[in-house]
Structure 1
Amino acid sequence: MRIARYTAGEDPVYGVVEGEVGEEVVHQVVGDPLYVEPTRTGQSHALADVRLLAPVIPRSKVVGIGKNYADHVEEMGGGTPPGEPAVFLKPNTSVVGPMDPIVLPWQSEEVHYEGELAVVIGRLCKDVPPDRVPEVVLGYTCANDVTARDLQRSDLQWARAKGFDTFCPLGPWLVTADELAVEDLRLTTRVDGEVVQDSRTSLLLHDVVRLVSHVSEAFTLLPGDVILTGTPAGVGPLRDGQVVEVEVEGIGVLRNPVRDSGDGGAA
């Protein structure tokens, strides 16, 4: 099931997306699918007539995973990949949806895209054993873990570099876990139509089950929390006016324009 969060000119609602590419229809549902089983209201719209929003707004947190593809570890300077997942946090205020602009902050001169598969948690959980991870995952979406690379180096930690507003695009919708096996999906990132990342989730150093279990050992996970699974090689800079797309096989395409903040840091 593809679950979208959208607006048709009024308050945001949820809907179930059906149909082939270019002919999709979104059927409005009652309530929040994080907490209730989707029930259709009878209202429908052509997908082209609505504005898609981030499929989930995390109530609590976005948990990022660094250095989770060997080729990305190599391109960032090599070294031994971590024996355990490298965990960091992005604030929920960094989340935006499809076609929302990624705003380049004046504080950075080197903002990079990082295409990723994202896991959406569906229930309150803690210390989840690997064999029970499927019970707590609601579904999956595409993500872009936008990073101010120069600040990542200068700050010696990642909070500011990965936490600016607009630095966590999610979308275009959520695909429920019962309909998507994520062990070997193609992940592609394009900038202005040119492929810049092309990999598969089978190359994750720590797979989805391991990540969810590991993260839950540290943090209580809440419905709507998001875990970003890491990015493959090919990261690079974004410039004002570009369009970046992250596509995950079986999910869809997350597309965002890039805009300069136009702010010189005035008081």
Structure 2
Amino acid sequence: MKVAVFGPDRRVGVVHENTVVDINAAYAKYLAETTDTARPLVEAAAAVPAQLNAFIEEGARALEGARAALEYLTDQAQDARGVTGEQLRFALDEVKLHAPVEGASRILCALANFADHMQSAAENSQRADTEATLQRLLAGGPKFFIKDHRAVSASGDPLRYPARTERLDYEAEIAVVIGRAGRDIKGDDFASHVWGYTLFNDWSIRDNVAFGPDFAYSKNFDSSATVGPWIVVNEGQDLQDIPVECRVNGELRQSGNTSSMVHAFAALGEHLSRDTTLLPGDLIASGTPKGTAVDSTRQEADGSLPGTLFLKPGDVVEVSSALIGTIRNEVVKPTD
């Protein structure tokens, strides 16, 4: 099931055959037309909520209700109008899909989590201290940073080129979405806390990056976390076998798979949940494979990076997976 957030009211929808179905309203219709319930709208609000995090928290009941409503609407219903006559099904190209992240959900990002990415960066560095830093990042347990949830953007949103950089980079990633709250989660139990997975572009500033107190500054700016286009839920996919690619202006730059993560999602979940409760709707991003501009560019002796492969206004970046879909964004001028 592909669960999206759509429209001006940011309602939960299920993507089906190039349409998105308002699944809360569709479930109310299902109840009104197939049961003797006196208050279908009230029951639907409780069982199949219209807002994302409430829908996630409702767990199996919401997914089962969504599945029943979709089957009824597709195979049995006489029309595609809701209890109050509202439209239930919308063409994907007619509605705005928002990033499937709600409210204060945390975006927790793995750092230095693909060996080929880090090795390529080390090989392209002419500074011994840079290579030593990269090797330290690979050593030991998981490393992570936080993206501001208010910096989230959706597929189709323009990416305003940050005025403070001359080296803007892309990072194609997979993110898992937490479905069941947990603290001190054991790695072998982490999968039971995962609700689904989605695409993630970790836009990054690469000018004079230092892995210290200011590192988060290079990772956070308006629209710097593109998520979507939807969350794939409950399809039995091995989280450590999800492909991901990145294209810039149609040119393939990255092609990887979560099977190559240094620390698997289970290890990340165990690490991040120590003394901290992971909550429904939180995201954990995988880290990125080889092929970013920074790991593909030969560093000058003074530590500077030639700008050829870095993004510029007008570039179109697509992050995709055969198991999910595609998120696409155009980089625009800082003044746009």
Compute the displacement of 1:232 (Å): 0.6
Match of 1:247 in 2: 320
SS at match of 1:197: strand
How many angstroms apart in 2 are the aligned matches of 1:133 and 1:155?
29
How many angstroms apart in 2 are the aligned matches of 1:259 and 1:249?
27
Contact persistence 1:241–1:257 (CA under 8 A): yes
Q: Which moved more, 1:209-218 or 1:65-74?
A: 209-218
1:49 aligns with 2:102: no
Match of 1:118 in 2: 175
Match of 2:56 in 1: 34
| Structure-2 change in CA distance of 1:58 and 1:138 (3 Å) | farther
Q: Which moved more, 1:136-145 or 1:68-77?
A: 68-77
Structure 1 segments unaligned to the other structure (5+ residues): none
1:150 aligns with 2:201: no
Match of 2:4 in 1: 4
After TM superposition, the structure 1 = structure 2 runs for residues 1-267 of structure 1, keeping only pairs within 5 Å, are 1-7=1-7, 10-19=8-17, 24-30=18-24, 31-32=50-51, 33-36=55-58, 37-38=62-63, 39=66, 40=69, 42=82, 43-57=88-102, 59-77=104-122, 78=131, 79-80=134-135, 81-150=138-207, 152-153=209-210, 157-217=214-274, 219-236=276-293, 237-262=310-335
Contact persistence 1:112–1:235 (CA under 8 A): yes
Contact persistence 1:59–1:222 (CA under 8 A): no
How many angstroms apart in 1 are the aligned matches of 2:113 and 2:211?
22
How many angstroms apart in 2 are the aligned matches of 1:91 and 1:226?
12
Q: Which moved more, 1:220-229 or 1:29-38?
A: 29-38
What is the TM-score of this pair, normalised by structure 1?
0.90
Contact persistence 1:140–1:177 (CA under 8 A): no
SS at match of 1:76: helix
Identity %: 35
Q: How many residues align?
A: 257
Compute the displacement of 1:108 (Å): 1.3
Structure 2 segments unaligned to the other structure (5+ residues): 25-49, 70-80, 83-87, 123-130, 294-309
Contact persistence 1:116–1:231 (CA under 8 A): yes
Compute the displacement of 1:240 (Å): 0.5
Compute the displacement of 1:155 (Å): 6.7
How many angstroms apart in 2 are the aligned matches of 1:172 and 1:257?
15
Tell me: higher relative CO, structure 1 or 2? Use CA pairs within 8 A at least 6 residues apart. Answer: 1
SS at match of 1:189: strand
- 2:6 maps to amino acid: Y
- 2:330 maps to amino acid: P
How many angstroms apart in 2 are the aligned matches of 1:216 and 1:192?
38
SS at match of 2:219: helix
How many angstroms apart in 2 are the aligned matches of 1:259 and 1:58?
26
- 2:219 maps to amino acid: K
Q: Which moved more, 1:113-122 or 1:32-41?
A: 32-41
| Structure-2 change in CA distance of 1:74 and 1:135 (3 Å) | same
SS at match of 1:35: helix
Larger proportion of strand: 1
- 1:246 maps to amino acid: V
Compute the displacement of 1:107 (Å): 1.1
What is the TM-score of this pair, normalised by structure 2?
0.72
Larger proportion of helix: 2
How many angstroms apart in 2 are the aligned matches of 1:113 and 1:165?
14
SS at match of 1:175: strand
Match of 2:35 in 1: none
